[in-house]
Amino acid sequence: MSGLPSNQTSANWVSGILNKFKSGELTISEAVEKLSVLPYEDIGHAKLDHHRSFRTGFPEVIFGQGKTTKQLISITERLAARSDKVLITRSNENAYRALKTRLPDAVYNSDAKAIIINRSKKIKPQPGIMLITGGTADIPIAEEAAITAELMGNKVEKIFDVGVAGIHRLFDHLEHIRKARVLVVAAGMDGVLPAVVGGLVTCPVIAVPTSVGYGANFQGIAPLLTMLNSCAPGVAVVNIDGGFNAGYLAGLINKC
């Protein structure tokens, strides 16, 4: 099966096949064979959703944790053959080094623990997203959100370590924060920061509870409950350590 050229989207790829059939360059059977991976491709240990970019505007994302290096490479190669963007979350440097021998344009973000392949045409990113963290320990989750939103064509600004224990640090950035179209606020411990921010701005706030904290944090359950019970309107909550989900949602909102 032929792969998708690096400068084409899935939509362009399908259009190209249909045009070749129309012009007589491909027979019906040849066109069907090339389109056989849609809507998904079964490679045994995974069923790859090549059709997802048609439905949602963004290709399937690989959750790296729990997959063997061999599985990760085979999945990534097949997705990269038919998409100009690939994102692997919750991965590690060993997997990255093995993958890079097969896909040299792969890039590793050590803060987010993510592998990125981006062959899309360079476009001016859409400004409007800002990331805020309660503490430095929340940065890895925030960075996962950032690379997701950036891969979707957005510009992401970041303000780190402005938690409620030193709330004056947040107020120093308030004028800048109020210019954002959507905010992603990641916090562990008591998880109060998104509610505080939500009471100061007019834009949507996506709250990300992190598993950062001592025993009664319960690996993120305590901030999750705090955020769900926020009295500030306009605050939506994703799952614990859900940086990818927050970045994806922020990217969708910012494109509206």
Residue 1 has pLDDT above 60, yes or no: no
Report residue 192 as tokens.
Answer: 């109060």
Using alpha carbons only, how large is the chain's radius of gyration in Å?
20
CB 95 within 8 A of CB 69: yes
Per-residue confidence (pLDDT) for residue 120, from 0 to 100: 83
Backbone angles phi, psi at 153, to 5 degrees: 95, 25
Within 28-166, residue ranges assigned H as helices are 28-34, 52-56, 69-80, 93-100, 139-151
Q: What integer is the mean pLDDT of 142-157?
A: 95
By C-alpha distance, which of 134, 143, 155, 142 is closest to 251? 155
Residues linked to residue 158 through DSSP beta bridges, in sequence order: 131
Q: Which residue has the tokens 């606020």?
A: 185
Tens of pLDDT, residue by residue over 237-249, are 999 999 999 999 9
Q: Alpha-carbon distance 69 to 95, whole Å? A: 6
Amino acid type, 222: A
pLDDT number for residue 205: 97
What the block records as the tokens of 140 is: 């890895």
Given pLDDT bands bounded at 50, 70 and 90, which one contains residue 5?
very low
Condensed to tens digits (0 to 9), the pLDDT of residues 67-123 reads 999 999 999 998 888 888 999 999 999 999 999 999 999 999 999 999 999 988 788
Angle at 162 between CA 211 and CA 160, to 5 degrees: 75
Give the per-residue pLDDT at 37: 60
**Kind and range of the H or E element at 21?**
helix 10-23
**CA–CA distance, 63 with 210 (Å, rounded to integer):** 18
Phi, psi at residue 69, to the nearest 5°? -60, -40
CB 168 within 8 A of CB 142: no
158, exposed or middle or buried, with CB in 10 Å at 0-12, 13-18, 19+? middle
Report the DSSP beta bridge partners of residue 47: 42
Only one residue has tokens 């690096």, namely 6
pLDDT tens-digit map of 153-171: 999 999 999 999 999 999 9
pLDDT over 90, % of the chain: 68
pLDDT of 8 > 50? The answer is no
Sketch out the chain's domains with CATH numbers. 10-118 (no CATH), 126-255 (3.40.50.1970)
